[in-house]
Amino acid sequence: KRLAVLVSGGGSNLQALIDAIQSGEISAKIELVISNREQAYGLTRAAQNGIATHYLGIKNYPDSNARAEKLNTLLAAHQIDYVVLAGYLSILKPETIRQYEGRIVNIHPSLIPKYCGEGFYGHHVHEAVLANGESESGATTHFVDEGVDTGKIIYQERVPVLKGDTVETLSARVLTVEHQLIVRTVRDLCSGSVKTSE
Ligand code: GRF
């Protein structure tokens, strides 16, 4: 299967996918890594692994509709089967969702439907979990629909919130689980044991 991975930051979820493909756990090839942030380290990780990269952001595509059109063109040109949002902090346009309905997955660092949607991304999630005194948090993979973090859930994994946890310690514990979840999700999507949500 042919994958496109979209990143905005460090790309540790992308790295987990690269490693799982290299180890043979996932039978797929990452054809393309795209970021809306020119400095995203995820682009460096892709380049280090010989994967084609594209920056599509406000500097080279200031108009968001033109940017969406370019994204759709790239995905089609590379005959992408599945799109993986791995720490991607931009909302896909409806035409992209429609073109890939049921074949776009996202990883989110909370137990959806808790702590998700507008504003709940990255460390904001863990800050809110700690502020509310939750005893547990976790990660979720889901299909992407036109809402924010609202598509059909694929897998979810819990992690405990421990006494004395900080945003750093909690986010690190959740990120470890994200890496396991994103690999399991993409593996099972590519093997057909998780059905696309069409
Ligand atoms: C992390 O906050 C992670 O929880 C979320 O995106 C952020 C960066 O992930 N999925 P990555 O290291 O860029 O994959």
What average pLDDT score do residues 10-39 get?
98
The predicted model scores a pTM of 0.96
Q: Is the ipTM of this complex over 0.90?
A: yes
What CA–CA distance (Å, rounded) separates 83 from 44? 19
Does any ligand 1 atom lie closer than 6 A to the CB of residue 10? yes
Question: Going by C-beta distance under 8 Å and a sequence separation of 6 or more, which residues neighbour residue 89?
Answer: 8, 9, 36, 37, 121, 122
Query: How sure is the predictor about 101, in pLDDT bands with cuts at 50, 70 and 90?
Result: confident
- DSSP code at position 162: P
DSSP letters spanning 29-60: EEEEEEESSTT-HHHHHHHHTT-EEEE-STTT
Residue 36 marked in a binding site: no
Q: Alpha-carbon dihedral of residues 170, 154, 8, 146, nearest 10 degrees?
A: -120
Given 3-state DSSP classes, what are the helix, strand and coil percentages for the chain, each rounded to the nearest 5? 35, 20, 40
* Active-site annotation holds for 124: no
For 153-175, b where at least 16 C-beta lie within 10 A, e where not — what string? bbbbbebebeeebeeeebbebbb
Does any ligand 1 atom lie closer than 6 A to the CB of residue 3? no
Q: How far is the CA of 43 from the centre of ligand 1 (A)?
A: 14
pLDDT at 134: 98
pLDDT tens, residue by residue, 40-57: 999 999 999 999 999 999
pLDDT tens, residue by residue, 67-81: 999 999 999 999 999
Q: How far is the CA of 149 from the centre of ligand 1 (A)?
A: 14
Does any ligand 1 atom lie closer than 6 A to the CB of residue 175? yes
